Structure 1
């Protein structure tokens, strides 16, 4: 076994903190902080995932009214020890080329495209953490035989948990956080064979 590189060693006994991510230039792209632990994508990204996220970014950006920005692969500083990186987020802050993270009060929608290595985090851990942080809308996009299926959640304020708002195949229409209509089948090319 080889020794861990120095940058992988937590700077303190308590582990990592949110601000530490900005001081880790050696860390792999897409490094997240969950409960004080660094999490980075270890498996190669599937083409389906990349194409879906690109198509969603383009489509949501085209539909977003003034005052909303769509960001891809930017972290959200949920608290001192949690800074996950969703596939997409919708914010009410203007574009800032130097921004490295968002605070939850400015995030209106989080979208996670589920991959085999992130399935547990996307379906359970992040679902709970985003709700506890007060993010009003969460979409979890699953691959169902090559077609995207979107599990939509809305925040129930009194309980700080997400309530299921629907499972969408083919077409997704939502009135919140703004009027959104998506042809889900057009987001990824159909499988051949």
Structure 2
């Protein structure tokens, strides 16, 4: 594949061929390529989404690994958060990429190689575009979640959690079992 000898535009991003072998984001027109998350990370994403979805109001839904356009202009920035809570109408419209105004929560699960980006760069970007809630999940034992809520255009701590976490998401209360994000499933045929 050949690349343009310039910063990419949002149209260049959209025209990229689909490739699930790596993780792609666009940062100020620069294509950022990383390895795909490994198994433990992927299982945590799936389990978090499964815990969140039934606790949300019908007006919201959970998505994983969707494109979030932070800046559509020149140069553009497109992030692909691990988990996103967006409007049910956006899900029904089958949006190929999301605008921040339609998103109430973004979750990043910390990985080697992205911790600083998640804690610093994305933290600032998500606040700047007005996403109300930002959660960071650390899968190192004990699994923990740090929650942030937007206050006056900046994120403020909304608590650090381990074990069972009760959080407020917009006007909803959600309860998460953080250890279950990484724990082995019990053997359904085994003795309980």
TM-score after normalising by structure 1: 0.85
Does the Cα contact within 8 Å between 1:30 and 1:73 map onto a contact in 2? no
- Please give the secondary structure, in 1, of the residue aligned with 2:143: strand
Which residue is 1:58 aligned to? 50
- Please give the secondary structure, in 1, of the residue aligned with 2:117: helix
Question: Within 1, Cα distance between the matches of 2:110 and 2:9?
Answer: 25
| Structure (1/2) with the larger strand percentage | 2
Aligned pair 1:125/2:121, yes or no? yes
Which residue is 2:155 aligned to? 162
Aligned pair 1:82/2:82, yes or no? no
Following TM superposition, by how much is the alpha carbon of 1:161 offset from its aligned partner in structure 2, in angstroms?
1.5
Does the Cα contact within 8 Å between 1:111 and 1:138 map onto a contact in 2? yes
Q: What is the CA deviation profile of residues 69-111 of structure 1, one whole-angstrom value per residue up to 9, with x for unaligned ones?
A: 1110001111121110000100114224742211000100000
Which residue is 1:184 aligned to? 178
Which residue is 1:134 aligned to? 130
Does the Cα contact within 8 Å between 2:139 and 2:182 map onto a contact in 1? no
Question: Within 2, Cα distance between the matches of 1:71 and 1:35?
Answer: 24
Q: Which runs of 4+ in 1 moved over 4 A?
A: 26-29
Question: Within 2, Cα distance between the matches of 1:98 and 1:91?
Answer: 12
Question: Within 2, Cα distance between the matches of 1:149 and 1:24?
Answer: 35
Does the Cα contact within 8 Å between 1:17 and 1:82 map onto a contact in 2? no
Deviates more, 1:104-113 or 1:179-188: 179-188
Question: Within 1, Cα distance between the matches of 2:125 and 2:10?
Answer: 15
Which residue is 2:144 aligned to? 149
Which residue is 2:86 aligned to? 91
Q: What is the CA deviation profile of residues 127-155 of structure 1, one whole-angstrom value per residue up to 9, with x for unaligned ones?
A: 0000000000000111222x421111001
Question: Within 2, Cα distance between the matches of 1:46 and 1:66?
Answer: 31
Does the Cα contact within 8 Å between 2:58 and 2:88 map onto a contact in 1? no
Following TM superposition, by how much is the alpha carbon of 1:30 offset from its aligned partner in structure 2, in angstroms?
3.1
- Please give the secondary structure, in 1, of the residue aligned with 2:169: coil
Count of residues in correspondence between the two structures: 178
Query: Tell me, which stretches of 5 or more residues in structure 2 are unaligned?
Result: 185-192
Which residue is 2:188 aligned to? none
Which residue is 1:173 aligned to? 166
Does the Cα contact within 8 Å between 1:33 and 1:83 map onto a contact in 2? yes
